[in-house]
Chains A and B, each alone.
Chain A
Amino acid sequence: MSLVIVGGFLINIPFIPILEQTARNLFFHVPMWMAMYAMFLISLYHSINYLRKADWLVDIKAEAAAKTGIVFGVCGLLTGSLWARFTWGTWWTFAEPKMNLAALALMIYVAYFMLRSAFDEPKKRARISAVYNIFAVSTIPFLLYVVPRQLTSLHPGADGNPAFSEITAAELRFILYPAMIGFIALSYWVYDITYRAYRVRYISEQTLRNPI
């Protein structure tokens, strides 16, 4: 299944270099955030599921998805920073709400891992971090969609207009949407690897603690 996903990602690449110059960053920078949202949604789903089922595998899935989401969020921040240096003039500006709130959203998720590391007992850790995760996810739409659209911003989509309006060239969409699907698929693959690694770690911890 992973191979199919990777294959689907590879097909996207020849399509990408069609349009001109830094507008191409759209195909890399924006899907990073879409992949992050997808991962955080998966994490939310598993956290809710944990509160219903109390299965340790589900908890580990939520942890792996949050971790992968952070990795893609960091990618998005770094790429955005480089892009901003050559189109807006600075690496970082505090007058840009979306940029700063995205950094804040990532910090909320870093706090999720700090919270996890604070507990030794697996069941307690899983339950409390599941509750925290549900709260953390609920901040994301407000931080990244509601607030930036109320303020002036350099990002498209500020001042109340939708991000993808008629001013954006229509051809961009033919690449952007496959790129989003491709990067979300890639992030799902990374998530799967992380999940399996965490699962093996958990099992080995248990067997080392209570040898058969």
Chain B
Amino acid sequence: MYLTQLLFLVTNMFQDATDVAPMDTLSEAYSDKWIAAANQGEGFFASFMSSNNLIFVVLGVTLIIWTVLIVYLTRVDKKISLLENQLNHSSNET
């Protein structure tokens, strides 16, 4: 019961593309049209982000930086552990 509700929430979270008025950014000059301040869309994700004067956008931005850095450092860490294993094995053999 809760699981299906959660699934519904998650799938709806990122489907906000249709909520925003489609914008022709290729043929028209788009500059100076800050359209989104008035029209943020209806989806759960969009309305959550635009609540409280868009403060959650700032939260999202910092979280993105955090995640990218953590993922990158974890990958470097894994690489180093792999090398350590190799070195240990090779020193055991000789």
Contacts and interface: CB of A to CB of B under 8 A. Distances in A.
Interface residues of A, number: 39
A95 B57 contact: no
B3 interface: no
A47 to B, nearest CB: 21
Interface size class of B (residues with CB under 8 A): 35 or more
B55 A95 contact: no
B83 A154 contact: no
A133 to B, nearest CB: 20
Interface string B1-31: 0000000000000000000110101101111
Contacts of A95: 25-26, 28-31
Contact of B68 (A22, A78, A89, A96): A78
Nearest to A21: B53
Interface string A92-135: 01111000000000000000000000000000000000000000
B73 A28 contact: no
Interface in A16-57: 20-22, 24-25, 28-29, 32
Interface string A177-212: 000000000000010011001001100100110010
Tell me if A's interface is mostly helix, strand, loop or mixed.
helix
B57 A82 contact: yes
Given A28-B61, A29-B61, A86-B49, 12 more contacts: A22-B58, A75-B64, A86-B57, A87-B54, A89-B36, A89-B39, A94-B25, A154-B34, A158-B31, A197-B80, A204-B83, A207-B90
Interface of A: 20-22, 24-25, 28-29, 32, 71, 74-75, 78-79, 82-83, 85-90, 93-96, 152-154, 158, 190, 193-194, 197, 200-201, 204, 207-208, 211
16 contacts: A21-B54, A25-B57, A28-B58, A71-B69, A71-B72, A79-B61, A85-B36, A86-B40, A87-B34, A88-B34, A89-B35, A93-B23, A197-B79, A197-B80, A211-B90, A211-B94
10 nearest CB pairs, A to B: A89-B36, A95-B30, A152-B31, A93-B25, A79-B61, A21-B53, A89-B35, A95-B25, A22-B54, A24-B58
